[in-house]
Structure 1
Amino acid sequence: MKRPPKDIIASSRTISRRALVVGASQIAIMAVLGWRMRSMQVEHADEFRLLAEENRINIRLLPPSRGLVFDRNGIAIADNEQNYRVVMVREDAGDVGEVLARLTEIVDIAPDDLARAMEEMQRRSPFVPVTIAERLTWEDVAKINLNTPALPGISAEVGQSRVYPWGADLAHVVGYVGPVSDYDLSRIDDQDPLLQIPKFQIGKTGAENKLEHTLRGSAGHRRIEVNAVGRVMRELDRQEGDAGKDVQLTIDNRLQTYAQARLDGESAGVVVIDLENGDLRAIASAPSFDPNLFVRGISVTDWTGLNEDKYRPLSAKAVQGTYPPGSTFKMVTALAAMEDGVLAADETVYCPGYTDVYGIRFHCWKNGGHGNIDLHDSLKQSCDCYYYEIAQRVGIDKMAAMARKLGLGIRHDLPLSAVASGLAPDKEWKSSVRGEDWRIGDTVNASIGQGYVLASPLQLAVMTARIATGHEITPRLVRLIDGVEQPSGRGESLGLNENTLRRVRAAMVDVCNNRRGTAYGTRILTQGYEMAGKSGTSQVRRITAEERAAGVTRNEDLPWERRDHALFVSYAPIENPRYAVAVIVEHGGGGSSAAAPIARDVILQAQYGGAPPLDAYPANQRSAIEQQQRRIEARIPMGAKAQSRA
């Protein structure tokens, strides 16, 4: 039966409305899908592309090659060597314990290394490679590569590790590197991602530490494709980092190795400065240590031995150690008095063997005294009473000012660990630091380098250099960085009266070359190579009246730790000086007997550029010197011998 026209029209209207709703809904859904697709493909494309690539591509940092360190002659004193190692990425390994067990069946790995690696992996992000073992042989690397399918997350790599060819001879100068530690991260404000790489080596001491940012370089990276289980399939691309800059020091390796060998058997330090430019030619401290032990991971036994050694091999005595300078300070007192106008060069002071100051007796080293003595003879014979007298005239403040002008009591800016400031005390210092008034007895003690006065061998070498030249010589350790010359250390004139300096220098010449000089026994005979100098003996403890009465005044009567320090400063040649040297022998006794021979031998070595002829020495010493030269020749490494003959 036919439907009525009205029903047909109503039904058509209903269908049209439904079609419209459905169509509109479809259009809306398509619009939403289109907007979402556009958002994902256009606005969030980079985000989703990164998420996709992270499932199959890893980016790993490439440590840069550390810059090399050379001596002034281009000899490598801190080098890099190949280091085969095995690393693990925890997130790629699955069962870490099982994989490590398989690894130990293939190569021999110490249990301590495994335990350390497991601990490291727990502390690091799962995607960070952790070194399991280092210094593998090529055979070990081949075995690991052959068994890669059974070792997920494990890979063998070749990297670089620091090596110090000259071992202990330059340990206190170059320092050493070691793996970055949590302590390192806590004390330095450095966001370099390289520091997050386990066992990444950074400078710990010496020039390695102070020039860290120069030597480190910047990281590179490589992109690698991995499969579903995280195994590396191929390397997609690699961008090498920037290698660290090479550094050339002012140290002369030949002179340094000689100085180190000459100090053998002593607890001592020596510094050699080139007066033309302030270059530090040698900075030796004895005993020393092998820095390679720290790079490879020092054993408990070795570490304990170094720390418990009473001669302190880890201490750089030449720059860190501070000592009462003893009679080497007398030039400071004399220059202060003459520059202030309270002392005439030809004026004499009477020395009866002691000086009474407000009821306190200060002794001269010569019990019977020197009698009437002037500036020249007071330095030549090292009379103490002369300086007790003139110090009371000039006062401590002007003495301290002169000391600082000559380089004492200030910290010299060098890329070395713990460079000491020493102390040139004055009234303000004692008041602010010790809360006490300065006393006249303090001035008397300071006049001969005792009391509160402290100086390092480096500072004493600078003092001697400035006296010898009249210029503000500043020590320089870095000669070139990436081939760029660093500023010279020879400064302007000190502004001191040249006649005054000339008188002090003449007295220092006679200390070594006059029969009544305290260091006449260590004179240099070769014309044009003679040295000028000043000896010093600094007391570790004061001799009591009871000890004097009992005759206990000799160092040989005391334990080593209570004996006096021996010091000597010198420059050479006398005409147109080229080198200044300072020596400390801890608890060595007299400066003339213990320190002066070392200074003489080192300064001769510097002038000749090698072993000097025997006729440079007094005839009665030549046999002993010849034996000493043979002993040192045997002590110096073969590489150094070859270089010294070049």
Structure 2
Amino acid sequence: MKRSPRDTEASLRKISRRSLVLGGVQLGAAGILGWRMRQMQVEQADEFRLLAEENRINMRLIAPARGLIFDRNGIPLAENAQNYRIVIVREDAGDVDLTIEKLRQLIYLDPVELDRARKEIKRRSPFVPVTLTDQRSWEDIATVAVNAPALPGITPDVGLTRNYPLDEDFAHIVGYVGPVSDYDLSRIDDDDPLLQIPKFQIGKTGVEQKYERTLRGSAGARRIEVNAAGRVMRELGRDPGDAGGDMQLTIDSKLQNFVEARLAPALSASAVVMDTRNGDLLAVGNAPSFDPNKFVRGISVSDYGELTNNKYRPLSNKAVQGAYPPGSTFKMMVTMAALDAGLLNPGETFYCGGYHTLGNRRFHCWKRGGHGWVNLEKSLQQSCDVYYYELAQRIGIERIAETSRRFGLGERFDLPMSAVSPGIMPDKQWLFERYKQNWRVGDSLNAAIGQGYVLSTPLQLAVMTARLASGTRIEPRLVKSVDGVEPEPVGIEPLGFREDHLNYVRRGMFAVGNSRRGTAYGSRIEAADKRMAGKTGTSQVRSVVVRNQDVPWEERDHALFVGFAPYENPHLAVSVVVEHGGGGSAAAAPVARDIMLFALNDGLPPLENYPSSQRARIGESLSELNLRQNFRPTDRADRA
């Protein structure tokens, strides 16, 4: 049917309107699209360029070189050693098991270490490098490099790891580092991103732990180009960051080595050597010790079990953690308390018949037959217990405790070592708060001879002796400098005791080792310019008195000795505690004498310093000590 002209015209008008509407919509859409494209390309260009760069370029943290630790003479105690390691990238290796088997045919791989690496490979993305083995020799690295075409995905690498060149000598002082654990992250308030780096090492004990932030340094960074999957394509730049600060300790490594070697035969013992002029700790020894290098990479279960199950407690820093009854080394405190209170005349005598009676109880002297009439000097020289029972009953525990605290007993010293103990210096309030008991006179008598509730550490005993020798409130110091900057010197205040009172006690201590009836006469120093004043001590670990040789080692008495030298111009103080060693005169005094002579001579002493009858035996025993002979100075700016 033929359409009329009118119908045709109406249809054309409809098509024209639709075209205009459609064209308008299309034009509007194109306009909006053009406006948005202009906005993105011009107005937001910088923002999108930054987002694109961040998708293409990543920043990776670089662990800084850890600060080094030196002794007072520049000998390295903790350094950074090159760590040669072998890594594998799973996606490049193809058949991982086959590739590892090829590697095992070239170099030895520890099964335990390899098992740990296999688990790590499964957890990580296929393009992330995983360490198969570390601490390898250069020969192993060279072998892998030469055979690289046959070992797809395996690459030799190098980094830094902590090393302790003097190993056991400084294990309890410097401490050690180890990988960051979840436990570490839970107990420290530290948001440093370095702690998130896998296997990043932090200080676990000792100076390494206490000065962690100083030694750690600040992170560096490297800019790497990655593809869409996050795979590293190339490195674009590197900022190594700031290395940690170097530290210098007050310890003399040569003396420290001698102390460790001299204590070793004692099975379980500790010693502290202190400079009485400035408080520098010159040696802090413990026996037995352990190798901290084993902890750096993660100690094996068997090795750790041997340390924790050892009854001589090699992991314990006995010099600052061990709290022992001070025995007769405490008698100087009772004497000073009585003199200071004006309740003792130095020439006054007490009669010792072998015991002191309090009510219906007898407090015995160590010498069953008694010492007869005893004055101050003789009481120290022969360590008469009855003399101090009399003094304690006269002056009371409050004066004894107050005087002892002034000499450093019962005080926790602020030193960068783990678990420094405050010991116990009891008084009436302490006993009531601790045990809800009232103090009795018998408690004072026990305290007077360093028994009962009184507990002291070898460090505290060394401080006590240094203060007796100097008459000043000297404080122990372990850190000599940080990055070459020494702390501001602190004025040393007088203790506040009369000099003549101190001299009475010093003369009594001199008689201990230099009078024929002194308890340490067998451990005297013959050289007139090096003579030592000291005090022996024996502390009981059981209430029933029996001979030490008749009971197991764990039930024997502790042996103690404290001393200072040279007597005329003292600048060194020493304390020695031999756990379950028996008598202080037999077990502790000879060790202290040898340590003191080594320190005064800056090396093995001439045998003329010893009594003539002992020289042959001592010369032989000293020659058998396991001493280090090669102490090398180092450039503190040299960072391995």
TM-score (norm 1): 0.90
1:638 is the counterpart of 2:635 = no
Which residue is 1:244 aligned to?
A: 244
Closer/same/farther in 2, CA of residues 355 and 44 from structure 1, 3 Å limit: farther
What amino acid sits opposite 1:427 in the alignment?
Answer: K
Report deviation, 1:144.
Answer: 5.7
Deviation digits for residues 252-311 of structure 1 (CA, Å, limit 9, x no counterpart): 011011111111211111100011210000011011111122224323332222222221
Report deviation, 1:52.
Answer: 5.9
C-alpha separation in 1, matches of 2:495 and 2:94 = 69
Deviation digits for residues 494-529 of structure 1 (CA, Å, limit 9, x no counterpart): 111222111111111111111221111111111221
- 1:397-476 aligned at under 5 Å gives the runs 397-476=398-477
2:565 to 562, 572, 590: 572
Closer/same/farther in 2, CA of residues 126 and 438 from structure 1, 3 Å limit: farther
Paired residues of 2:93 and 2:151 also in contact (CA < 8 A):
no
1:620 is the counterpart of 2:621 = no
Closer/same/farther in 2, CA of residues 562 and 239 from structure 1, 3 Å limit: same
223-232 vs 619-628, which deviates more?
223-232
C-alpha separation in 2, matches of 1:373 and 1:322 = 31
C-alpha separation in 1, matches of 2:480 and 2:542 = 41
- SS of the aligned residue for 1:338 comes to helix
Which residue is 1:499 aligned to?
A: 500
Closer/same/farther in 2, CA of residues 250 and 49 from structure 1, 3 Å limit: same
C-alpha separation in 2, matches of 1:200 and 1:10 = 81
119-128 vs 363-372, which deviates more?
119-128
C-alpha separation in 2, matches of 1:490 and 1:631 = 43
Paired residues of 2:223 and 2:237 also in contact (CA < 8 A):
yes
Deviation digits for residues 125-147 of structure 1 (CA, Å, limit 9, x no counterpart): 88875433212344554566678
What amino acid sits opposite 1:543 in the alignment?
Answer: V
C-alpha separation in 2, matches of 1:127 and 1:229 = 9
What amino acid sits opposite 1:365 in the alignment?
Answer: W
C-alpha separation in 1, matches of 2:41 and 2:345 = 93
C-alpha separation in 1, matches of 2:436 and 2:480 = 43
C-alpha separation in 1, matches of 2:265 and 2:205 = 24
- SS of the aligned residue for 1:638 comes to coil
Which residue is 1:190 aligned to?
A: 190
Report deviation, 1:164.
Answer: 1.2
Deviation digits for residues 345-396 of structure 1 (CA, Å, limit 9, x no counterpart): 2222221111111212110011111222111211111111111111112111
310-319 vs 272-281, which deviates more?
310-319
310-319 vs 24-33, which deviates more?
24-33
Which residue is 2:317 aligned to?
A: 316
Report deviation, 1:399.
Answer: 1.1
1:597 is the counterpart of 2:590 = yes
What amino acid sits opposite 2:419 in the alignment?
Answer: A
Closer/same/farther in 2, CA of residues 149 and 622 from structure 1, 3 Å limit: closer
Paired residues of 2:558 and 2:579 also in contact (CA < 8 A):
yes
- SS of the aligned residue for 2:510 comes to helix
Q: What's the RMSD between the two structures over aligned residues?
A: 2.9
What amino acid sits opposite 2:480 in the alignment?
Answer: R
Paired residues of 2:93 and 2:154 also in contact (CA < 8 A):
no
Report deviation, 1:185.
Answer: 1.9
Report deviation, 1:115.
Answer: 3.0
C-alpha separation in 2, matches of 1:204 and 1:40 = 54
1:99 to 96, 100, 104: 96
Paired residues of 1:71 and 1:248 also in contact (CA < 8 A):
yes
- SS of the aligned residue for 1:414 comes to coil
Closer/same/farther in 2, CA of residues 142 and 528 from structure 1, 3 Å limit: closer
Paired residues of 1:424 and 1:453 also in contact (CA < 8 A):
yes
Paired residues of 1:519 and 1:596 also in contact (CA < 8 A):
yes
- 1:328-347 aligned at under 5 Å gives the runs 328-347=329-348
Which residue is 1:549 aligned to?
A: none
Paired residues of 1:407 and 1:462 also in contact (CA < 8 A):
yes
- 1:306-385 aligned at under 5 Å gives the runs 306-385=307-386
Which residue is 2:217 aligned to?
A: 217
Report deviation, 1:432.
Answer: 0.8
What amino acid sits opposite 2:476 in the alignment?
Answer: P
- SS of the aligned residue for 1:113 comes to helix
Report deviation, 1:622.
Answer: 0.8
C-alpha separation in 2, matches of 1:456 and 1:631 = 29
Paired residues of 2:194 and 2:219 also in contact (CA < 8 A):
yes
Structure 1: unaligned runs, 5 residues or longer: 545-552
490-499 vs 68-77, which deviates more?
490-499
C-alpha separation in 2, matches of 1:121 and 1:493 = 64
Deviation digits for residues 59-110 of structure 1 (CA, Å, limit 9, x no counterpart): 3221111111100000001111110223457xxx459994354244235533
Which residue is 1:178 aligned to?
A: 178
1:608 to 601, 606, 616: 601
1:86 is the counterpart of 2:111 = no
Which residue is 1:557 aligned to?
A: 550
Paired residues of 2:405 and 2:425 also in contact (CA < 8 A):
yes
Which residue is 2:159 aligned to?
A: 159
Closer/same/farther in 2, CA of residues 95 and 12 from structure 1, 3 Å limit: same
Paired residues of 1:275 and 1:490 also in contact (CA < 8 A):
no
495-504 vs 22-31, which deviates more?
22-31
Report deviation, 1:186.
Answer: 2.1
C-alpha separation in 1, matches of 2:48 and 2:86 = 33
Structure 2: unaligned runs, 5 residues or longer: 634-640
Which residue is 2:61 aligned to?
A: 61
Deviation digits for residues 188-229 of structure 1 (CA, Å, limit 9, x no counterpart): 222222222222221112111111111111211212234567
Paired residues of 2:127 and 2:231 also in contact (CA < 8 A):
no
- SS of the aligned residue for 1:265 comes to helix
Percent identity between the two aligned chains: 55
C-alpha separation in 1, matches of 2:354 and 2:41 = 98
Deviation digits for residues 122-178 of structure 1 (CA, Å, limit 9, x no counterpart): 777888754332123445545666787998876543111111111211111111112
Which residue is 1:285 aligned to?
A: 286
Closer/same/farther in 2, CA of residues 43 and 436 from structure 1, 3 Å limit: farther
Closer/same/farther in 2, CA of residues 309 and 348 from structure 1, 3 Å limit: same
Closer/same/farther in 2, CA of residues 587 and 289 from structure 1, 3 Å limit: same
What amino acid sits opposite 1:224 in the alignment?
Answer: I
C-alpha separation in 2, matches of 1:95 and 1:360 = 84
C-alpha separation in 1, matches of 2:202 and 2:31 = 59
C-alpha separation in 2, matches of 1:125 and 1:443 = 69
1:254 is the counterpart of 2:235 = no
- SS of the aligned residue for 1:599 comes to helix
- SS of the aligned residue for 2:559 comes to strand
Paired residues of 2:86 and 2:154 also in contact (CA < 8 A):
yes
Paired residues of 1:279 and 1:477 also in contact (CA < 8 A):
yes
C-alpha separation in 2, matches of 1:44 and 1:393 = 91
Paired residues of 2:179 and 2:297 also in contact (CA < 8 A):
no
What amino acid sits opposite 1:284 in the alignment?
Answer: G
What amino acid sits opposite 1:204 in the alignment?
Answer: K
Report deviation, 1:579.
Answer: 0.3
